[in-house]
Amino acid sequence: MPVDPYILLLLGTVGLAALLPARGTGADVASGASTAAIAFLFFLYGARLSTREAMDGLRHWRLHVTVLACTFVVFPLLGLASRGLVPVFLTDPLYQGLLFLTLVPSTIQSSIAFTSIARGNVPAAICAGSFSSLVGIVATPLLAAALLGGDGGGFSADSLVEIVLQLLVPFVAGQVLRRWIGGFVTRHKKVLGLVDRGSILLVVYTAFSEGMVEGVWHQVSPVRLAGLLAVEAVLLAVMLLLTWYGAKALRFDRADRVAIQFAGSKKSLAAGLPMASVLFGAQASLAVLPLMLFHQMQLMVCAVIAKRRSHDAQADPDEGPAVPVRATAGTGGR
């Protein structure tokens, strides 16, 4: 499988932070710029989401409840179960990062893109990813406070307010202004896609720079990284199986099962990075390392699955009809 060029950019950004970390005034400027970039990213998410599609999606409440349960119940339970892998496979900091990974909301764009490729229910994927992100703005920090406790860094009412101001308020602003800018955003989605990718790179550089300055990377060894990758591979496989066959057991049709599998098995780098920066502070680079690795893994695996689903969409009559695919707001991997 070819490596996504964007992943190479992510790795290059980590290397840049290792060689030339932002310090002093430069660190303050990078932090402010990354905060503004993520806020603008969620503003674009709000401007892209059609209010009509959101209202239509609300009527498909069983699907959205299923995706939310996978994201904020099943995933965290698996994260808690992985505590038994410390210290054989994981160190305590890597376990905390893995547990934080399980608390992050689902993706928006890649859920839409893979559901579209697999000929699934695209409107449902749009709404499921968006609803998950909105719920996660509150649910993720609250779950982090409950499950990570004092290890979660600096969770407080102030941190929750900061996350809401950085993510939810811009999203709502985008929805409010969609009437005037929605067409422009849709017409320039490829150009604006560079904005969200650039935003992620800036946040990664800021977080890993802070980690380098604080000297946290001596805690990670190649053996531990290999153990982390193995654990995440199992985690992804379990969630892909649970979402697909669990949705079948709940009697969803094929198109809905595709949306549930791709929205319910993935985690958002765009939402997780700024939350980790607020909650973990100087330890954010270690906290987001499991999320970055899982992000790449889910893209590669789900790309293969989506292509196979597209081929068998009409070959298996028992799976039900696929929903016609419409143009979506983006195909990025966030």
**What string of pLDDT tens digits covers the 334 residues of the chain?**
456 677 788 788 888 988 899 888 988 898 889 888 888 888 888 888 777 776 766 778 899 999 999 999 999 999 999 999 998 889 888 999 999 999 999 988 888 889 988 999 988 888 898 889 989 998 998 898 889 865 555 566 777 888 888 888 998 899 899 889 988 887 887 777 777 778 888 888 888 887 788 776 666 788 888 999 999 999 999 999 999 999 999 999 999 999 999 999 999 988 888 888 888 876 777 888 899 889 879 988 998 899 888 887 655 544 444 443 343 333 444 5
Provide the token pair at 130. Answer: 């968006």
Predicted confidence at residue 314, as pLDDT, reads: 54
pLDDT in tens, 261-301: 999 999 998 888 888 888 887 677 788 889 988 987 998 89
| Residue 141 near residue 154 (C-beta atoms within 8 A) | no
The DSSP string of 64-115 is HHHHHHIIIIIHHHHHHHGGGGTTTT--HHHHHHHHHHHHSPPPSHHHHHHH
Provide the token pair at 11. Answer: 């790795």
C-alpha 98/C-alpha 307 separation (Å) is 28
Q: What is the pTM of this model?
A: 0.82
Closest CA to 295 of 122, 107, 142, 114: 107
Helices (H), 169-324: 169-187, 189-214, 222-249, 254-264, 269-280, 284-312
C-alpha 165/C-alpha 233 separation (Å) is 34
pLDDT in tens, 310-328: 887 655 544 444 443 343 3
